[in-house]
Amino acid sequence: MGEGHLPVLVDEVLTSLAVGPGSSVADCTVGGGGHAERLLETTSPDGRLLGIDADRAAIAEAERVLARFGDRVVLRHANFEAIYDTAIESGLAPLDGALFDLGLSSYQLADPARGFSFAADAPPDMRFDETSGVSALELIERSSERELAGILATFGEERRAGRIAKAIVAARSEGRIVTAADLADVVARAAPSRPGSADAGRIHPATRTFQALRVAVNREVEVLTAGLAGALAALKPGGRMAVISYHSIEDRIVKRFIARESRDCIEEPLPPVCTCGHRAQLRAVTKGVITPGPEEVRRNRRARSAKLRVAEKLA
């Protein structure tokens, strides 16, 4: 792995998770171990950390970075949708804290073989776990134009989904999509940034297409929903979960999850007498979201879209 994943909102995560010596914490997206290292320092001398990642290369990197903490660390190659079972099986449940730092790491983005970046001279794979599911290229090859447009509109909130899907299907049938760079080029030609628009010169025209394909191949909506529920179940009363998201689809899921689990009755509209039996299990610790300050954004471009939400399990 290369160098250089800077963890985002680290001080804010440590303060809001409020963990200390002896705490038991799950880092559900351990990545290069940046947040995990700080969590282990904060919970020293005897706190324990369960580090999960769907990417084997990330687990290998975390193993290297966290080696000095010895048996205070347990690492698992797993999807965080299985956080509850993994926390039980590893002996770390119930947890004092759980962290999700969503999306991809700088290591994954920088590795051309993974096909996450617009410039990658390799097939667009985009799976966090290369050992399961289908790659983005396979998804493109299997999907109809209509299905592709649906994926781009739903998971990328791409307003020009129809036009882009049409161009991708045409390029695909002519064998013109081999690498991630080819894909980015097809999208940029079909839907170039509009001069003078807010996005022009700021983000690549294929940003939303790449996001949508990544969300689809990694089943991000489904696994995040399951992961949040699993983390809540694995927390002890008074334990906290912190979630850093990087796009509006992720943040909406987190916001709705916290709102729903902070309410007793979840029937809509609220009936005079509740029959759903749902009971509030969380309280939001942060009012709204915590975002990085300008200094952090200057140091770390990846931080610019980060949003942190924190919630506490009720007693």
Ligand X SMILES: C[S@@+](CC[C@H](N)C(=O)[O-])C[C@H]1O[C@@H](n2cnc3c(N)ncnc32)[C@H](O)[C@@H]1O
Residue 192 structure tokens = 């170039």
- Under the binding rule (CB under 6 A), the answer on residue 34 touching ligand X is yes
**At its nearest, how many Å lie between ligand X and the CB of residue 136?**
15
Give whichever of 128 and 155 is closer to ligand X, judged by the CB atom: 128
**At its nearest, how many Å lie between ligand X and the CB of residue 314?**
26
- Under the binding rule (CB under 6 A), the answer on residue 296 touching ligand X is no
Give whichever of 17 and 149 is closer to ligand X, judged by the CB atom: 17
Q: Any bridge partners for residue 282, and if so which?
A: 313
Give whichever of 99 and 206 is closer to ligand X, judged by the CB atom: 99
Q: Contact at 8 Å (CB) between 205 and 193?
A: yes
Among 16, 29, 117, 300, binds ligand X (CB under 6 A): 29
Among 69, 80, 116, 155, binds ligand X (CB under 6 A): 80
Dihedral pair phi/psi, residue 96, rounded to 5°? -85, -25
Among 240, 243, 227, 224, CA closest to 24: 240
Among 32, 51, 124, 230, binds ligand X (CB under 6 A): 32
Residues within window 88-107 making contact with ligand X, judged by CB under 6 A? 101, 103-105
Give whichever of 48 and 172 is closer to ligand X, judged by the CB atom: 48
Pairing state between β 235-245 and 95-101: parallel
Residues within window 204-233 making contact with ligand X, judged by CB under 6 A? 223
Query: Which residue stretches of the chain are H helix?
Result: 10-17, 34-42, 56-65, 83-89, 106-110, 136-142, 145-156, 161-173, 180-190, 207-217, 220-234, 248-261, 294-299
Residues within window 114-173 making contact with ligand X, judged by CB under 6 A? 128
CA 254 – CA 65 distance, rounded (Å): 29
- Contacting residues toward ligand X, per CB under 6 A: 5, 7, 29, 31-35, 52-55, 58, 79-80, 101, 103-105, 128, 223
